[in-house]
Amino acid sequence: MQTRAFRFRRFMGILPVAAILLAGAGTASFGASVTDHVPSDVKLTIVARGLESPVLATAVPGDERLFIVQQNGVISVLEDGGVRTVLDLGERVTFSGEAGMLGLALHPDFKRNGLAYVSYTRGRLTSVIKEYRFDEAAGRFDVESGREIYSLEQPAGNHNGGMVAFGPEGYLYIGFGDGGGANDTYANGQNFDSALGSIVRIGVGPGFETPFEIPPDNPRTDGPAPEVWVYGLRNPWRFSFDDSLLYIGDVGQSGQEEVHVLEAGAASSGLNLGWPLAEGNACLGDAQCREKELNWPVLTYATSDGCAITGGYVYRGDEIPELKGHYFYGDFCSGEISSFVYQDGEVSKQRSWNEILGPVEFISGFGRDGFGELYVVSLTGTIYRLDPA
């Protein structure tokens, strides 16, 4: 059997992302309904192509524009069938391996304040969150408006995370991997004093006197890393909110890929998601890990069936009403798109879409537009929309 590292080396001559894969929007509320019938007459429609290493598509609820994040430091907008650049950070962004521009979160009040939060890598390996203001008159972000909100030094070039998204309570969530290497080389997974291997939760935007503030219901409000909300993650490359639920796709090492579903805010504050005590549903090294207070994934699949999970979104559109409430995710190597329904603490209606949609080359991200429709992002430069056939 080929090793996982070998499989990735095969792709390094094609794509800029090397090693294990592994960037959000204002939280949309589309209603939490779930349908019983799952259709078979769906297709993927190409809506954009020729982009350089896209990793995410996102939108403002009720807005026609689709913002596309590209790893090379460019944010584009898909509008009226055309793509145009709205932010180009150029050499400010370190674009190499898993580093680059990795995420975008549009402020929940974006239509009025124009604020957005961009996640990218700078210099040798520093993860940066920077606030930019969109100039509606100019139709682009004002580069000079950039204000640094948060930064974190990365010890290695993989497991950088980089996803950002606003939760339903208005706080910004930021995902960071364990710092890279294998087997939690830098011992960050279970280190509650480090933001590495965690999801950070902070207050940003108008109304805050400092670049960011610590929510009063975070696990800690002082100490080395009071911004940490949950920990025990290996590489939460992509996550998304659906109303009050946060769906996290955490990339596995060699055993299992996993999806966690957490309640936003105080309900999940301080949870330990297991890594490296556990991978998926299996204990690693510590045979007593099941006696510890860990949050276990709601779904796993064997890493050997792909190589790296790419978390997606819950479908909330109107074009395919039968899919409302279904969470879609993919695998970077196999290209397989799958879905399931999470309701009342249980997973149901699991499905692979390979026979209908076919594998999609190098799924680096997903997207959900302002009306709840779903998009698939390929690192090769193509954006697809899920449509009725």
Q: Which of 376, 389, 388, 330 is nearest to 66 (CA)?
A: 376
CA dist., res. 164 & res. 103, Å (int) = 6
Per-residue pLDDT tens digits for 277-312? 999 999 998 778 988 899 999 999 999 999 999 999
Residue located via tokens 């949309």: 28
Residue located via tokens 């899919």: 323
What's residue 24's pLDDT? 36
Per-residue pLDDT tens digits for 204-259? 999 888 999 999 999 999 999 999 999 999 999 999 999 999 999 999 999 999 99
Mean pLDDT, residues 354-379? 98
Q: Which fold has domain 4-388?
A: Neuraminidase (2.120.10)
pLDDT, the chain, mean: 92
Mean pLDDT, residues 253-279? 98
End-to-end, the C-alpha distance of the chain in Å comes to: 37
At 167, list the tokens.
């939760």
What's residue 209's pLDDT? 86
Residue 84 has pLDDT above 70, yes or no: yes
Asked whether 104 and 58 are in contact (CB, 8 A), the reply is: yes
Asked whether 329 and 311 are in contact (CB, 8 A), the reply is: yes
What's residue 27's pLDDT? 44
CA dist., res. 142 & res. 301, Å (int) = 43
What's residue 11's pLDDT? 38
Per domain, the residue ranges of the chain are 4-388
Per-residue pLDDT tens digits for 12-35? 333 444 343 443 334 444 555 666
Asked whether 262 and 274 are in contact (CB, 8 A), the reply is: no
Helix (H) or strand (E) holding 142, with range, is strand 140-153
Per the confidence metrics, is the pTM higher than 0.75?
yes
Cα within 13 Å of Cα(135), Cβ side: 11
